[in-house]
Amino acid sequence: MKNTTLYLKTSAVYFFILLFCYAAVSKASDFENFQIQIGQSPLLSAYADSISYVVIFTELLIVLLLIFPRTQIAGLYSSTALMSAFTLYIYLILNYSDFVPCSCGGLLEKLGWTEHLIFNIFCVLFGIAAVFISEKYSMRSYATITFALLCSNLLSCALIVFLFLDSEYIIKKENNFTRRFLMHPLLKTHTADLAHTGFYFAGFSDGRIYLGDRNFPQNLISYDTALAKSDQMKIDLDVTKHVYRKLEIKIHKGNYYVYDGTVPILMRGTIGNPTVTTISYNDAFFTQMEVLNDYTFGIRTQSSKTKELLLGKIKIQADGKNKVELFSNLLQKQKDGVFDSDGYLSFDQSRKTLSYIYTYRNQFLIMDTLLQLQRKASTIDTIKTAQLITESLSDGRHKIKNIPMKVNGRGISYGGLLFNPSELRGRNESVKRWKNNTVVDLYNTTSNEYAGSLYIEKDHNKGMSDFIVTEKHLYAVIGNRLVRYQLTHSLTKHFNTGKPKTVPESRHNY
């Protein structure tokens, strides 16, 4: 009997030496990939840099404890506690996490998470049995041994729970530029070939996707949602009356709107009818426009006095005396008030909120349809101040003297989420995957929380140039292809399409 118990103890010692030695060596030999996996962990991503070293060090320390007879019992206690921590870690991932990262590498790489959980439970039970066998001939009572096991295992599990709760808070509220990628948020379902690469999304209406054409700006192309059938319409414009330089089209509820930032004009037409009517002329110059409703338009313009960028709105009046309101306190100047305030407007029809995301810093604004500021929030990168150098010219214009660091792309708001194509690689993010994909970060516009990220694969090294989001799909222009992706539950569960309470006009205090 004594030989049997001794054999079991020796087997446990050798088993854990082999397990932890192999695990530590495999992690250290592919350390960069191990850090990336830890960075994608829903429990440990905020601590990926330090945890990656601590795990390897702990495993090697346990191996050393197990090698020497005097410290073998301490090694078995430590082995059991560490495996309990790993077991709880997997349980939390499977039951309480939106993100399920890749399994750890090495010997157990091909095991699924459930099989991994079963293996870990076996290791914990094996370790507990080995501890009792090793302590059999000591002066300690079973109660003392049990208490020591409970304390060591509960302490290790408590550490995992703490890391989980604290990491969740840091990632969602105080992110240090660590991304978490949603599990299969998009399914590529259809593609359509485009004539060239100059297309952009004009909008979505009545089950059809509309594309504008920068090469032929009077053309409006529409596709059904399956991308099977397309139609084209040429808008009638008197190009001799105005010198247009940058015509763009927006679609809203059966109408299309044509505007040009170099000409203070806004025209409206009905989809299917190429004839347009001018609804605003000489009211305001503007470089960006979003349709808030049939008669109100959010704009980004420039102050005639300071030359700084401003947000505002144009309200179309029945008597033709349109009303223009500018809000000088929405965009915050950091250096010149022009380039440092550059960004993109987007209107969320489902939430009736207008967003503005800065190009060169980690901030975005959420406003209601009256352009009252609801909240400011930050993206997960760490660039708080625009990294650019500007100089003022004699005519009041500004010029960039360096190549600025672009932080955010053209963000799109839909369903209470801001979809932001980020220009920067996150911490512990695979360089290869980042180069081969366009990264889109998602932010909850009501809770100011980071919701996750997704990849959109490039096509022959050409990234996504524009995209649009609907209730069930994401459509993207990638090179000269129009691609449809189906949204899966891992993404749509973050939607919040309930309309916020509207603010009466009398409460507008700007």
Q: What pLDDT shows up at residue 224? A: 94
Q: Residue 508 — pLDDT band, cuts 50, 70, 90? A: very low
Maximum mean pLDDT: which of 36-40, 201-205, 241-245: 201-205
161, burial (CB in 10 Å: exposed 0-12, middle 13-18, buried 19+)? middle
CA distances from 463 to 144, 221, 289, 437 (A): 62, 22, 25, 7
Percent of the chain with pLDDT over 90: 52
pLDDT (average), residues 86-102: 74
Which residues neighbour 324 within 8 Å (Cβ) at sequence distance 6 or greater? 283, 284, 312, 313, 314, 315
Q: What pLDDT shows up at residue 399? A: 65
CA distances from 411 to 75, 120, 262, 359, 466 (A): 52, 43, 23, 10, 10
pTM, rounded to two decimals? 0.72
d(CA 116, CA 204): 45
Task: Please report where in the chains the tokens 């009211």 appear, as a residue.
Answer: 283
- Region class of 206: left (phi > 0), else alpha (psi between -120 and 50), else beta: left
Confirm if 327 and 393 have CB atoms less than 8 A apart. Answer: no
Greatest CA span in the chain, whole angstroms? 103
- Give domain 186-507's CATH superfamily: YVTN repeat-like/Quinoprotein amine dehydrogenase (2.130.10.10)
Q: Residue 374 — pLDDT band, cuts 50, 70, 90? A: very high
Which residues neighbour 301 within 8 Å (Cβ) at sequence distance 6 or greater? 284, 285, 286, 287, 309, 310, 311, 312, 326
To 10 degrees, what angle do helices 48-67 and 2-29 make? Answer: 150
Would you state the structure tokens that stand for residue 352, as one six-digit string? Answer: 């009736």
Report which secondary-structure segment, H or E, holds 358. Answer: strand 353-358
Strands 363-367 and 353-358: antiparallel
DSSP state of 471: S
DSSP state of 70: G
Q: Residue 500 — pLDDT band, cuts 50, 70, 90? A: low
Strands 208-213 and 449-457: unpaired
Q: Residue 6 — pLDDT band, cuts 50, 70, 90? A: confident
pLDDT for 443-492, tens place per residue? 999 888 899 999 999 988 899 999 999 999 999 999 999 999 999 999 99
Q: What pLDDT shows up at residue 106? A: 47
With a cut of 90, say whether residue 103 has pLDDT above it.
no
CA distances from 295 to 29, 67, 375, 501, 503 (A): 63, 78, 25, 20, 17
Question: Which residues pair with residue 187 across a beta bridge?
Answer: 486
319, burial (CB in 10 Å: exposed 0-12, middle 13-18, buried 19+)? exposed
Phi, psi of 48 (to 5 degrees): -55, -40
d(CA 387, CA 256): 37
Question: Which residues pair with residue 264 across a beta bridge?
Answer: 260
Report which secondary-structure segment, H or E, holds 69. Answer: none
pLDDT (average), residues 214-230: 93
With a cut of 70, say whether residue 30 has pLDDT above it.
yes
Alpha helices by DSSP H, listed for 425-500, are 431-436, 489-492
pLDDT for 35-90, tens place per residue? 767 766 656 666 667 788 888 999 999 999 999 988 999 999 999 999 999 898 88
> Considering only CA atoms, which of 182, 52, 186 is closest in space to residue 456?
186
pLDDT (average), residues 364-380: 94
Confirm if 479 and 191 have CB atoms less than 8 A apart. Answer: no
Domain segments of the chain as ranges: 2-173, 186-507
d(CA 253, CA 28): 57
